[in-house]
Amino acid sequence: MFNTKKIILVAGITAVFAGLSACNEKLTSNVTPIMDGEYASNYVEIIKANDGKYLDSKVIEAILGKGATHGRDGLQGKLDPKNPYSFEVDDSIDGGNHGNSQCKVPMAFTRVQDSAAKNYKNDATFVAKGFGTPIAEAALEKWNITVDGDGKGLPDSSVGMTVEEGGAVYVQFCAMCHGEFGEGAKGYLALAVDEDLIASDPKDPAPMKSVGNYWPYSATLFDYIRRTMPFWTPNADYIGDKGYLGITGYIMQANYIPIGFDEDGESMELEDDTFYNAEVLMKQNKFMKNQGNFFCDHRPIIHNERCMKDCPDTMVGDGSGDIHNFVEARKLPDGTPQYNVPQRLNEAPPGVGHTGM
C-alpha cells in the first residue's frame, strides 16, 4: 500500500506551485546555474532564490537545461536518479517503494521542505503586525482526523449506524445539494451515476465522475466527507463520526459497492439494516470499481505559450483555424446538454436531478 497521505500532500503542494508558476514571466532572482554534469548542481540555491517555486518553467529550465525539460527528453530525464526532478529518488526520502517504483517525491521538493523546517519560527513568539493571533494546538486537534487509504485513522469499530439511519442523516444534511439518492440537485454534482468512464469517441463529452465509477478508496471517501461536508460547517459535532460513517454507507449503497462475494461469485450488497462501521467500510475498500486504474503520471510538465491573437490554425477551433468550428464539450452528441449542466451554469431553476424532476 502506498503512502496516500504523502502522495496527497505532494499533489496538493504541486498544484499550488503550478498555479503560482503561471504568473512568473521571468526568474525573480537570477542565480547562475552550475552545470556540474547534465543538471545544475546548485538547484537548491536556484529554487530558494525564486521563492521556492520549483515548478516554475524558468526555474526548471535553469536547473535541467531547456532540452531536458519538455517532451520525451524530459520524461526520460525523470528516470535518472541524478535529476533533481526524478521519480527515482532514494528510498530514504519517501520511506520506500509505495506501490510504484517511479512514484517518488522529487529531491527538489524535499530539500526545500527541509529548509523550511530548519528555519521555522515559533508561533508562540510570532507577531503578525497586529493581524490575528497564532492558533493554539488545542484548536488544531479537531482537524487531526486524517484517514489513509489503508484505513489508518478510522474510528473504532464500535462507532457507526445502520445504512438506513445513515440515509436519514444524508437526507437531512446532504440531499438538498446532492439529491436524495445521490442524483445531484441545485447544480451540485451527482454522487451516484451509472456511467462508464471510458468514452467510445474522443469527441464525446467527458463522462461524469462519481463515487462508484471513479473514487479509489472508501476510506478516503469517509475522510473527505467528514473533513469538508456540509460545506457551511464541515466536521460537524452534531453529525459526529457515527453520522459521517452512516452517510458514507448510504452513498456506498447507492453506488452498489459490494462488501464481498458469495460462493457463487455473486456480489453481497449493503442491506438497510447493515451496521456500517470502519470494519464494513474497509471490506468495501478493496472493491471500489476504479481503484486499479490510478497510476503515477510520468509525463513531463509542459508549459505552453499563451496565444491571445494571431494564433496558428492548430490552436484555433478544431485545429483548422475556424473559430466557429469546434466541439462543445458540455453537450451530448445529439446536441442536448450533459447531465445537470443547465443547473450548474444557472441556466435552469434549481431542482432535484434533471430540470423538471
Same domain? 78 vs 178: no
Burial zone of 221 (CB within 10 Å; 0-12 exposed, 13-18 middle, 19+ buried): buried
Judgement on whether residues 113 and 168 belong to the same structural domain of the protein: no
In this structure, the answer to whether residues 102 and 202 fall within a common structural domain is no
Please tell me which residue, 137 or 99, carries the higher pLDDT value. 137
CA 166 to chain centre: 26
Cis peptide preceding 337, ω within 30 of 0: no
Dihedrals phi, psi of 58, to nearest 5 degrees? -70, -35
At 272 the pLDDT is: 97
What single string gives the DSSP state of each residue in 100-136? -TT----HHHHHHHHHHHHTPPPGGG---TTS--PPP
Would 344 be classed as within a structural domain?
no
| Number of neighbours of residue 237 by Cβ within 10 angstroms | 8
- Full residue range of the structural domain in which residue 231 is found: 161-293
Do 78 and 298 meet the contact criterion of CB atoms below 8 Å apart? yes
Judge whether 79 and 70 are in contact, CB under 8 Å.
Answer: no
Residue 32 belongs to a domain: yes
In the prediction, which pLDDT does 340 show? 55
Q: What is the pLDDT of residue 331?
A: 65
Shared domain for 24 and 89, answered yes or no, is: yes
Task: Identify the pLDDT of residue 9.
Answer: 38
Q: Does 80 fall in a domain?
A: yes
Closest residue by Cα to residue 167 from 276, 281, 289: 276
pLDDT band at 316 (very low <50, low <70, confident <90, very high): confident
Give just the sign of the alpha carbon dihedral 141, 143, 146, 152: positive
Query: 63, 88, 118 — which closes off a domain?
Result: 118
Q: Which helix (H) or strand (E) holds 275?
A: strand 275-276
Name the residue with higher pLDDT: 355 or 148. 148
Residues 259 and 189 in one domain: yes
Whether 224 is in a domain gets the answer: yes
Least confident stretch, 1-15, 28-42, 239-253, 313-327: 1-15
d(CA 127, CA 271): 55
In a domain, 318, yes or no: no
Cell for 119?
A: 528555519
pLDDT band at 18 (very low <50, low <70, confident <90, very high): very low
User: Which of 168, 209, 216 is closest to 192 using CA atoms?
Assistant: 209
Clarify whether residues 109 and 165 are in a common domain: no
* 29-33, 115-119, 214-218, 290-294: least confident range: 115-119
pLDDT at position 347: 56
d(CA 149, CA 131): 38
Residue at 339 is within a domain: no
Look at residue 63 and tell me whether its pLDDT is greater than 70.
yes
Residue 210 CB burial class (10 angstroms; 0-12, 13-18, ≥19): buried
Question: Looking at 110-119, 216-225, 315-324, which range is the least confident one?
Answer: 110-119
Task: Note whether 166 and 261 are same-domain residues.
Answer: yes
Sort 122 into a burial class: Cβ within 10 Å, 0-12 / 13-18 / 19+: exposed
Rounded average pLDDT over 89-104: 51
Per-residue pLDDT at 341 exceeds 70:
no
In terms of domains, do 214 and 287 share one?
Answer: yes
Which tens digits make up the pLDDT trace of 233-266? Answer: 999 999 999 999 999 999 999 999 999 999 998 9
pLDDT at residue 284 in the model: 93
**Which of 23-37, 138-152, 170-184 shows the lowest mean pLDDT across its residues?**
23-37
Q: Whole-model pTM above 0.85?
A: no
pLDDT averaged over every residue in the chain: 77
Region 266-291: mean pLDDT is 93
Domain CATH code at residue 182:
1.10.760.10
Owner of C-alpha cell 478493496: 286
pLDDT confidence of residue 307: 82
Same domain, 86 and 178: no
**Which is nearest to 206 in space by CA: 41, 348, 332, 90?**
332
Say how many residues make up the chain: 357
Whether the pLDDT of residue 130 is over 90: the answer is: no
pLDDT: which is higher, 316 or 174: 174
Q: What span, in angstroms and rounded, lies between the C-alpha atoms of 260 and 264?
A: 11
The residue among 118, 153, 185 that closes a domain is: 118
In a domain, 67, yes or no: yes
Does any domain span residue 168?
yes
The residue out of 85, 118, 151 marking a domain boundary is 118
Q: Do 259 and 179 sit in the same domain of this protein?
A: yes
Confidence of residue 348 (pLDDT cuts 50, 70, 90): low
pLDDT for the residue 297: 61
Q: Give how many domains the chain has, as a whole number.
A: 2
**Shared-domain flag, residues 99 and 189:** no
Q: How does residue 15 score in pLDDT terms, banded at 50, 70 and 90?
A: very low
Residue 99 and residue 192 in one domain: no
Distance of CA 265 to the CA centre of its chain: 33
